[in-house]
Amino acid sequence: MISQHLSLNELRTALTLVDKLRDSSSQHQHFRVALLSHVLRLRILISGGLWSDAGPASRTAEDALGLRYEIVSPSVSTAPTTSPTYIDFEDRFECAMALHTLVLSIISYVHAGISSESSARLSHLHALLDAKALECSGDGSIKVPHSYLPRLWI
């Protein structure tokens, strides 16, 4: 676990290693490992208190998962709105990555004071949890299939 007690140099080293993991996994088309690297990067930034970089990292991780949120200001429209439709993840690994990304994104946007952004993600998180998304991880571990060639060893 990475904490705020790490030096800035140690945080940069961790981020550099995650970036290398992302680059290598993308080059070898290990899309799940690339997704994991986006979530790891966001986690390192938040736990290290590097808040200015957390927002862009959050959007990158969300993009990798195909998550999009339409943020509508309550004062803009008085017309009735329909309930948003959220992505549901059938794949256990993607489900776990989505849960982590949403929790981390919510923390990031709450810290930044952007309630409309955090609210949209919190609603999606609730929808996933209501659909029993926590069952996606079973015992808490997720396998990252590595049947692609060449194999990427982590």
pLDDT tens figures, 112-152: 999 999 999 999 999 998 888 777 666 666 666 665 555 44
* Domain limits, the chain: 9-69+87-137
pTM for this entry: 0.82
What pLDDT score was predicted for residue 154?
A: 42
Q: What angle do CA 53, 87, 42 make, to 5 degrees?
A: 15
Between these two residues, 148 and 64, which has the higher pLDDT value? 64
Res 71 pLDDT > 50: yes
Q: How many CA atoms lie within 13 A of 75 on its CB side?
A: 0
Q: What is the DSSP string of 89-104?
A: --SHHHHHHHHHHHHH
Q: What angle do CA 23, 59, 137 make, to 5 degrees?
A: 80
Show the tokens assigned to 147: 């049947």
* Average pLDDT of the residues in 34-42: 96
What pLDDT score was predicted for residue 82?
A: 60
| Pairwise CA distance, residues 33 & 36, whole Å | 5
Determine if the peptide bond prior to 84 is cis (ω within 30°): no
What pLDDT score was predicted for residue 1?
A: 45
Check if the beta carbon of residue 62 is closer than 8 Å to that of residue 95.
no
